[in-house]
Amino acid sequence: MNKAKLMFVVAGTAFALSAQAQLRVEISGVGSNQIPVAVGPCAGEASAPAQISEIVKADLTRSGMFKIIDASPTTNLMQVEATSYKARGADALVACSVQQLGGGQFEVQYRLMSTVQGNDLSGFRAPMPNQYGRLAAHKIADDVYEKLTGIKGVFSTRIAYVVQQGRQYRLEVADADGENVIPALTSTEPIISPSWSPDGTKVAYVSFEQRKPVVYVQNLVTRQRTVVANEKGNNSAPAWSPDGKRLAVALSKPGNTQIYIVNADGSGIRRLTNGSTIDTEPQFSADGQSIYFTSDRSGGPQIYRMSVNGGEPQRVTFGSSYNISPRISADGKTLAYISRREGGAFQLFVLDLESRQEQRLSDTTSDDSPSFAPNGKYILYATQNGGRRSLAVASTDGRVKQRLSIQAGNIKEPTWGPFMK
Amino acid sequence: MRNVKHVAFILSTAALLAACSTPPAPQKPVEVVEKPAEPVKQADTRAVEPVKAEVDELDIPGGKLANRSVYFDFDSYVVREDGKEVVSNHAAYLGKNQRTILIQGNTDERGGSEYNLALGQKRAEAVRKSMAALGVAEGRMEAVSLGEEKPKAEGHNEEAWSQNRRADIVYKAK
């Protein structure tokens, strides 16, 4: 299926807010079984805050799981004939309408229909606030994705990453498609390791603004910032517990870097690992009972797992002499990490923790900072091309790849946000 | 002329009022101390007293203390032979001079930012421990890491990377 290589650029529908750092998304590769779906323009969307059908099509295409067939515009949502699209190869039809309510308010309504029986598979009606016009479209795409694949869609989730332009660093939050870019923090000193709270309202990160690495938690909604760890030495690598109450961090307080657990308000700090080598990059397992981390206790860096209550760590990676940056999928079954291979290439790998099957997902050579989409089907990571840092997305089966870049500067340290309520 | 007189009158009245507003300080008797008259020195206006300028050897350009960087191999925090001389030169200087230093560990851009931050810390620690072994007091040294965040060389090749795998000895202001 890879021979049907898809390459296109989703250009930004540039509005003033995102003009400064518009992300460009390029896609290559498609899924093994693409579901053919017909999507047509929504009734009344020309005057709506966002072009719903175009966004839905772009989302579904980017996922690599769908083949889009252009359908006729919907005129009356209650009188849509889906079965006529069977002949055009579609399994399902997406039809929608946008209605202008009073006072500049909009409402979107959508139907997902089978082209075989003509019956409804799904649908909903939802308000469409002006500032969240695109979000309404992403929620439709999420629903289509879920109803047709059985997997939750991630189109309405967000990502965070760091942009560096000269001496300027910006922690930015964007929609998963790279639109709606909002700077959450700007600084003249480095910002690294952003990490979303499980509820998606806060981001923990490391800022060098005090001339050394200090761990902060920033509430994105209220702007409130809390210093979570500012001990002697380096404070870094924050990772949230699944309940959002605690963070695992890496501190160099003892001289070398070790793992500590701290409450989200900065209280109750306690040391977890006890060694003289490097222990860093902690990550909670999905059940919150284990910590995966990077340690060079065996000589080179490898990934280990230990109980959150302490005890002897178990080594997890063996495939290379250099394995770093563990990330665990939400179902706890897959480990993503960066492995240094022959020729000095740093590449994204996944390990099936049950079968011990290892798979390389990238063909670039300077990858770092992997991050799972909350549905576990995609991994966002940082890479390099043409001497500049950019972002990339790979599906965990290795078939679909996307590249996200910006006009100027380096983009790095990406992290995929959670499902939002 | 009349106008001028008026102004003069107003000014003097104002001065009088101002003087009255502060109570006069109590008069203290001036103490008279008698000193014996000093003998008049005959200045030798042709004498030359030699002075040696105190040049801090730290500041000699091209001097052995000018090199303040210790370089490392990839993913290593072992002080190499070429770094040991740098360490011993500065340890000797610190033995003679009451200065404090910051040791900043750095890495090249490859690998993850967090592992590199920890690696840079290990490099700074390795230099700190080497200096402590040569007698430099612990309290006069602080080891910190900048990881891969502040590269000295901006390139993306081994030449740049080798420059960035480094611990710098930074003297704090006196």
Residues of chain B contacting residue A195, judged by C-beta atoms under 8 Å apart: none
Asked whether residue A305 falls in the same domain as residue A345, the answer is yes
Asked whether residue A257 falls in the same domain as residue A346, the answer is yes
Does the structure show a pLDDT above 80 at A295?
yes
pLDDT of residue A11: 30
Hey, are the CB atoms on A338 and B156 less than 8 Å from each other?
no
* In contact, A182 and A69? CB cutoff 8 Å: no
Asked whether residue A255 falls in the same domain as residue A198, the answer is yes
DSSP, res A266: S
Task: Please say which residue of A107, A123, A149 terminates a domain.
Answer: A149
Q: Is A4 contained in some domain?
A: no
Q: In this structure, what CATH number is given to the domain that contains residue A100?
A: 3.40.50.10070
pLDDT of residue A305: 98
pLDDT of residue A403: 86
C-alpha distances (whole Å) from A31 to each of A67, A219, A321, A395, B155 are 10, 37, 32, 9, 37
Asked whether residue A54 falls in the same domain as residue A164, the answer is no
| Mean local confidence (pLDDT), A165-171 | 94
d(CA B170, nearest CA chain A) in Å: 14
| Mean local confidence (pLDDT), A66-71 | 96
- Closest Cα to residue A15, out of A173, A140, A131, A184? A131
| Mean local confidence (pLDDT), A250-254 | 96
Angle between helices A52-62 and A133-149 (to 10 degrees): 50
Asked whether residue A118 falls in the same domain as residue A181, the answer is no
Q: Is B11 contained in some domain?
A: no
Task: Please say which residue of A128, A149, A170 terminates a domain.
Answer: A149
Q: Is A402 contained in some domain?
A: yes
Q: Is B86 contained in some domain?
A: yes
ipTM value for the complex: 0.90
Asked whether residue A188 falls in the same domain as residue A322, the answer is yes
Q: Which residue has the higher pLDDT, A23 or B86?
A: B86
Choose among B112, B145, B147: nearest Cβ to A368: B112
CA–CA dist A263, A246 (Å, integer)? 4
Judged by phi (left if over 0) then psi (alpha if -120 to 50, else beta), residue B68 lies in alpha
Hey, are the CB atoms on A368 and B149 less than 8 Å from each other?
no
Hey, are the CB atoms on B125 and A340 less than 8 Å from each other?
no
Q: Is B123 contained in some domain?
A: yes
pLDDT-above-90 percentage for chain A: 82
Q: In this structure, what CATH number is given to the domain that contains residue B101?
A: 3.30.1330.60
pLDDT tens profile A262-287: 999 999 999 999 999 999 999 999 99
Does the structure show a pLDDT above 80 at A25?
no
Interface test with A, best of B107, B110, B114 (most A CBs within 10 A): B114
Q: Is B97 contained in some domain?
A: yes
pLDDT of residue B26: 61
Asked whether residue A181 falls in the same domain as residue A75, the answer is no
Asked whether residue A254 falls in the same domain as residue A128, the answer is no
Asked whether residue A277 falls in the same domain as residue A322, the answer is yes
Asked whether residue A199 falls in the same domain as residue A348, the answer is yes
Q: Is A272 contained in some domain?
A: yes
pLDDT-above-70 percentage for chain A: 93
Which residues of chain B fall short of a pLDDT of 70? 1-29, 38-40
The total number of structural domains in chain B stands at 1
Q: Is A22 contained in some domain?
A: no
Residues of the domain holding B70: 58-171
Does the structure show a pLDDT above 60 at A260?
yes
Q: Is A392 contained in some domain?
A: yes
pLDDT tens profile A325-338: 999 999 999 999 99
| Mean local confidence (pLDDT), A9-29 | 47
Does the structure show a pLDDT above 50 at A156?
yes
Q: Which residue has the higher pLDDT, A3 or A236?
A: A236
The total number of structural domains in chain A stands at 2
Does the structure show a pLDDT above 90 at A134?
yes
* In contact, A85 and A29? CB cutoff 8 Å: no
Residues of the domain holding A109: 35-149
Q: Is B33 contained in some domain?
A: no
